[in-house]
């Protein structure tokens, strides 16, 4: 395990001599993976998805990980909305849901134009309370067996009344994140091995003419474009070939956390000051310390 430095700017982000700490492991078996890490700030706990075992797990410093919820409908990507409610992409039910503070479940999206969604993967919430999510096909099921004829990136209006298809030309849209100022939306394409960037229009849709390849994270080493978060300085953190990539706001790679596992499935900022970088791999959750803060997730 090592942290590879491509630019001296990386020294301003983290200590390149530190070791990756594996905080909890042993999930998913050969089927894997762990996914959707999310810092629950008021509990000082990390919540994440154990997809194959159909459960959500919670972990705290100094304690063993515990099952937070059995029967999670194989939830994948997790986040919280502006009111601190859990938002989850569910594989089994092919929907995006919100868990209300009273424990009730609200369905955010489960179909588009009368056809069931494919398999929602990852989700993020904008400050105006609109919800954006990716909906790829599963590689385990032939495309002609899905109801929809595209893999999509969607926006749900704050009142949950309007579902808009933003982009439909991804092969496998996966990780999704806003820039720190919400001017840009980043979406990575697992199959093509790159991150795309779009300017966000005032109405929340995307300016298609600004579509560009932000960064290519493909390579010969194991790992694909997956999961994504942005820190307060606009640096992007994304799974890719060889480990966890750290990329500056212009799309230049600054460094690579070569953690030794065969995939980086998602990332999250956490800790008291949002300066701990957590990441999930196929069967484990790792952590490194940062010198910068991530964009915080809303709390209740």
- How many beta carbons lie within 10 A of that of residue 197, not counting itself? 20
Local structure of 149: helix, strand or coil: coil
142 burial (CB, 10 Å; 0-12 / 13-18 / 19+) is exposed
Is 296 a member of any domain?
no
- How many beta carbons lie within 10 A of that of residue 30, not counting itself? 7
Confidence band of 1 (pLDDT split at 50, 70, 90): confident
Distance, CA of 137 to CA of 155 (rounded, Å): 18
Closest to 169 (Cα-Cα) out of 157, 183, 145, 152: 152
CATH for 224: 2.120.10.30
In which domain, by residue range, is 278 found?
A: 2-289
Q: Are 269 and 296 in contact (CB under 8 A)?
A: yes
Instruction: Give the bridge partners for 285, in sequence order.
Output: 24, 280
Is 295 a member of any domain?
no
Is 294 a member of any domain?
no
Closest to 87 (Cα-Cα) out of 50, 34, 129, 51: 129
Number of domain units in the chain: 1
What's the rounded mean pLDDT across residues 259-266? 94
Instruction: Give the bridge partners for 189, in sequence order.
Output: 173, 194
pLDDT of the residue at 141? 64
- Convert the pLDDT of each residue in 39-94 to its tens digit: 999 999 999 999 999 999 999 999 999 999 999 999 999 999 999 999 999 999 99
- Convert the pLDDT of each residue in 138-165 to its tens digit: 766 666 678 998 999 999 999 999 999 9
Instruction: Give the bridge partners for 160, in sequence order.
Output: none
- Convert the pLDDT of each residue in 217-256 to its tens digit: 999 999 999 999 999 999 999 999 999 999 999 999 999 9
pLDDT of the residue at 139? 64
Is 209 a member of any domain?
yes
What's the rounded mean pLDDT across residues 118-123? 97
Element (H, E) at 39: strand 34-40
Is 112 a member of any domain?
yes
Average pLDDT value for the chain:
96
Distance, CA of 47 to CA of 24 (rounded, Å): 12
* Lowest-confidence segment of 2-16, 103-117, 136-150, 155-169 by average pLDDT: 136-150
């Amino acid at each position: 395990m090592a942290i590879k430095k491509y630019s001296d700017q990386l020294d301003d982000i983290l200590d390149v001599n530190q070791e990756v700490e594996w905080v909890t492991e042993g999930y998913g078996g050969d089927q894997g993976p762990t996914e959707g890490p999310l810092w629950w700030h008021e509990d000082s706990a990390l919540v994440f998805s154990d997809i194959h075992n159909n459960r959500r797990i919670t972990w705290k410093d100094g304690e063993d990980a515990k099952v937070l919820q059995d029967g999670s409908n194989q939830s994948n990507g997790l986040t919280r909305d502006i009111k601190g409610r859990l938002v989850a992409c569910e594989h089994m039910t092919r929907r995006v849901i919100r868990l209300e503070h009273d424990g009730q479940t609200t369905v955010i999206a489960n179909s588009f134009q009368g056809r069931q969604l494919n398999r929602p993967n990852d989700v993020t919430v904008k400050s105006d309370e609109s919800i954006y999510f990716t909906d790829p096909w599963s590689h385990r099921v032939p495309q002609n067996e899905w109801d929809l004829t595209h893999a999509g990136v969607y926006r749900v209006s704050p009142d949950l009344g309007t579902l808009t298809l933003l982009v439909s030309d991804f092969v496998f849209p996966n990780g999704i994140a806003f820039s720190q100022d919400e001017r840009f939306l980043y979406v990575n394409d697992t199959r093509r091995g790159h991150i795309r960037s779009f300017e966000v229009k005032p109405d929340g849709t995307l300016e298609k003419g600004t579509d560009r390849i932000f960064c290519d994270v493909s390579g010969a080493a194991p790992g694909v474009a997956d999961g994504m978060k942005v820190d307060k300085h606009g640096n992007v953190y994304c799974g890719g070939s060889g480990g966890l990539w750290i990329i500056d706001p212009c799309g230049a790679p600054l460094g690579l956390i070569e953690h030794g596992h065969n995939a980086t499935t998602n990332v999250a900022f956490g800790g008291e000051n949002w300066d701990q970088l957590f990441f999930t791999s196929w069967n484990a959750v790792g952590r490194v310390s940062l010198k910068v803060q991530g964009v915080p997730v809303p709390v209740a």
